[in-house]
């Protein structure tokens, strides 16, 4: 089973690490990492808190999909506004958005090593 709490921790640590590393680069790179990472962290928080728990044993599934659609529309709107109206580096922005993916991969690697150690 995936440890969501550990993904939150890894996600936050990677976000802070990426922010510290980006401090050595130009302002658009710092802004790109900061905004992309913040959107990634907040998106995962909303998915896990408001949507993930509500799909389990709930009869009002259509309403939950509606709220998920609203969240997704809000996220895409924030991404659009960030790219069009804020002076940021697009590659740094994508790297910031990828922090969640990196966190999930890292959690999977940690889980596979702990599973292998338990089976020996």
* pLDDT tens digit sequence for 38-50: 999 888 888 777 6
Looking at the 3D structure of the chain, how many domains does it have? Answer: 1
pLDDT higher than 80, residue 89? yes
- State which residues form the domain around 24: 4-111
Q: What is the pTM of this model?
A: 0.79
Q: How far apart are CA 11 and CA 106, in angstroms?
A: 10
85 within a domain of the structure (yes/no): yes
pLDDT at position 49: 73
pLDDT (mean) for 18-28: 92
Angle at CA of residue 93, ends 47 and 78, nearest 5°: 50
Residue 75 neighbours by CB under 8 Å, 6+ apart: 39, 43
Separation of CA 118 from chain center: 29
């Amino acid at each position: 089973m995936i440890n969501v709490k550990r993904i939150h921790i890894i996600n936050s640590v990677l976000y802070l690490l990426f922010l510290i590393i980006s401090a050595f680069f130009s302002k658009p790179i710092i802004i790109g990492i900061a905004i992309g990472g913040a959107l990634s962290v907040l998106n995962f928080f909303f998915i896990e808190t408001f949507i993930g728990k509500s799909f389990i044993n709930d009869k009002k599934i259509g309403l939950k999909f509606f709220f998920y659609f609203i969240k997704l529309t809000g996220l895409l709107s924030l991404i659009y506004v960030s790219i069009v109206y804020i002076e940021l580096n697009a590659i740094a922005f994508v790297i910031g958005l990828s922090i969640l993916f990196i966190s999930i991969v890292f959690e999977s690697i940690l889980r596979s090593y702990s599973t292998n150690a338990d089976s020996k």
